[in-house]
Amino acid sequence: MAKQSEIKLTKTVVDAAEPGAKRYVLWDSDTKGFGVRIGVSGVKTFVVKYLAEGGGRSAPQRFFTIGQFGPLTVELARKRAKEIVASALMGKDPVSERNAKRKEMRVSALIDLYEAEGCFIQRGKRQGQPMKPLTKKYTIARLRHHVVPLLGRKRVTEIGAADIERFFRDVEAGKTAKNEKTGPRTRIIVKGGAGAARKVFRDLSAVFSFAKRHEIVTANPCEKAVVNKSDNKRTRFLTLEEVARLGAACDALEAEGVNSKALNITRLWVLTGCRRNEIAELKWDEVDLDNGLLVLDDSKTGKSIRPLCLAAATLLKGVEKVDDTDYVFPADEGDNYFQGTKNIWPKIVKKADLPGITPHTLRHTVGATATSHGEALALTGAILGHANLRSTMIYAHVQHDPSVKAANRVGRRIASALAGEAKPPPRKRRKAAESIPIKEVAPASNGLLPDPEWDALTELAVLPAEEKGFLASASDPTLTMLAKRGFAIANAGPNDLLAWWRISSIGSALVELHIVHKAAA
């Protein structure tokens, strides 16, 4: 922690200090060794440095964290720094004394310390960054509602693997579950069970890892505990027939006067595969309709770029911008984003007769639709915004152009089902397409049409004759050009912005001729 600068620290000076690419310290010019550390995330923490063992050239230098700016004022922190320096001059070592005292702390006090100093991401691309406020809130709540009642009075040095295993089984059995009224229209509802046990086990392991790094404990007892650490894999997703019911339910509720913001958010969930709040909190400056992208400033995995299918882009084009807010779906009152989906979602589920599904089921639906129709894992990962191998295997360096095309292919199927009124008929390929798959005999460089047009034409060609077609923007430039050439036909869609696209007889003849030519070659 090298010296960065010296200035008399005041509230105004600390308020004005801006975070940089690396953390740095502003040292106080009035009190030797007193300073404020400015973290990359913007967190400002008072510190003091001193020489232990009464000082001298050979004395070790110590750094003592006093506390965060905000809860602690500059003057109170300066007073505490003077006390620490004075104690060191008398031969004491406040850092060693503090560490020794921490070794005797109880688990409840460790959780308090973790809340104040330890709520940072421990691994992944966001390692070292502070938890998001909502994540921190839920994490600390789980620790206080499950860990404190069962382990809170134990000293941290007394906790072993056997204690952790017993704690896990108790939470799994529901011993910490409660439903208490805390005030007018407010309750605390704590659910036990296997899922809660797994989540709070991970939280507690992070707490002990923090304690180990700070030399409060010598080992993390969670590492040796034998418990079921893996979540149950969620495999539920909607079939296209179920997507059709979801779309019909949204249309029916909109006709009944249900808030259209909640319904459009739901439609975008299933068209984009985005996480719940990535759409609910969406801002206009994150929407790039020219390039067909969502550029999310702060997703679960940090900044994330997602391809938009044409149906989703068309829906967003139809959303009216509201003055004095940057949110695509602003709250009806106040300056926040719309948060009423939690009340309307149960109505959608009931109307569609899809019990048990959640908004995250719609994200699974996009992934399942993509992979079941042959999209590469790399492109599926780009659509969903996955960030690691465990999510969609390797998909590094995916170009936005092919991922947008993949999003369109997936979005067409989902959008068609979303706007459908009945169960779509089973997909049947034409005989020629069965014997010689179009994807194999119609490479991108086909010599007949520009690549985007040929891709769209081959998508139209494999649709069964009894289907309406696929739903896309009525002004889709690629499909519009196919229509001008006589290869595609647009029929009226559910509104003026959308159309049902089908291949024409001339287009079918062109594709079949190309198949025969390739087969002969």
406 part of a folded domain: no
Q: What are phi and psi of 438, to 5 degrees?
A: -55, -40
Name the range with the highest mean pLDDT among 145-159, 472-486, 503-517: 145-159
Run of H or E residues at 206? helix 194-213
Residue 327 pairs with which residues in a beta bridge?
Answer: 283
Six-digit token string for 265: 């958010």
Q: Domain end: 57, 82, 101, which one?
A: 101
Residues 184 and 257 in one domain: no
Taking the whole predicted model, whether its pTM rises above 0.85 is answered as no
189 part of a folded domain: yes
Residues 493 and 351 in one domain: no
Q: pLDDT (tens digit, 9 = 90+) per residue, 286-315?
A: 998 888 888 887 766 667 788 888 888 889
Residues 314 and 337 in one domain: yes
CATH number at residue 469: 1.10.10
Number of domains in the chain: 4
Given this model, what pLDDT does residue 22 score?
87
Residues 136 and 29 in one domain: no
121 part of a folded domain: yes
Residue 67 pairs with which residues in a beta bridge?
Answer: 46
Q: Domain end: 52, 76, 101, which one?
A: 101
**Which region among 36-45, 91-100, 240-249 has the lowest average model confidence (pLDDT)?**
91-100
Q: pLDDT (tens digit, 9 = 90+) per residue, 68-86?
A: 898 889 999 999 999 988 8
Q: What are phi and psi of 250, to 5 degrees?
A: -65, -45
Residues in the chain: 521
Residues 251 and 211 in one domain: no
Q: Answer positive or negative: Cα dihedral of 34, 35, 37, 42.
A: positive
**375 and 406 in contact (C-beta within 8 Å)?**
yes
Residues 215 and 266 in one domain: no
Give the amino acid at 167: F
Six-digit token string for 438: 């179009």
Residues 73 and 175 in one domain: no
Instruction: Give the Cα separation of 94 and 399 in Å (integer).
Output: 55
Q: Name residue, tokens 């149960």.
A: 346
266 part of a folded domain: yes
Residues 188 and 169 in one domain: yes
Instruction: Give the Cα separation of 64 and 51 in Å (integer).
Output: 11
Burial 422-432 (b: 16+ CB within 10 A, else e): eebeeeeebeb
Residues 212 and 246 in one domain: no
**DSSP 8-state class, residue 145:** I
Q: Domain end: 36, 69, 101, which one?
A: 101
CATH number at residue 281: 1.10.443.10
89 part of a folded domain: yes
Residues 193 and 247 in one domain: no
208 part of a folded domain: yes
Residues 251 and 388 in one domain: yes
Mean pLDDT, residues 357-375 taken together: 77
Q: pLDDT (tens digit, 9 = 90+) per residue, 11-56?
A: 999 999 998 888 899 999 888 899 999 988 888 999 999 888 666 6
Instruction: Give the Cα separation of 375 and 362 in Å (integer).
Output: 18
Residues 137 and 255 in one domain: no
50 part of a folded domain: yes
**Complete DSSP assignment for 246-263:** HHHHHHHHHHTT--HHHH
416 part of a folded domain: no
Q: Tell me the average pLDDT of the chain.
A: 80
Instruction: Give the Cα separation of 95 and 51 in Å (integer).
Output: 11
Its domain, for residue 171, covers: 105-221
Mean pLDDT, residues 2-8 taken together: 65
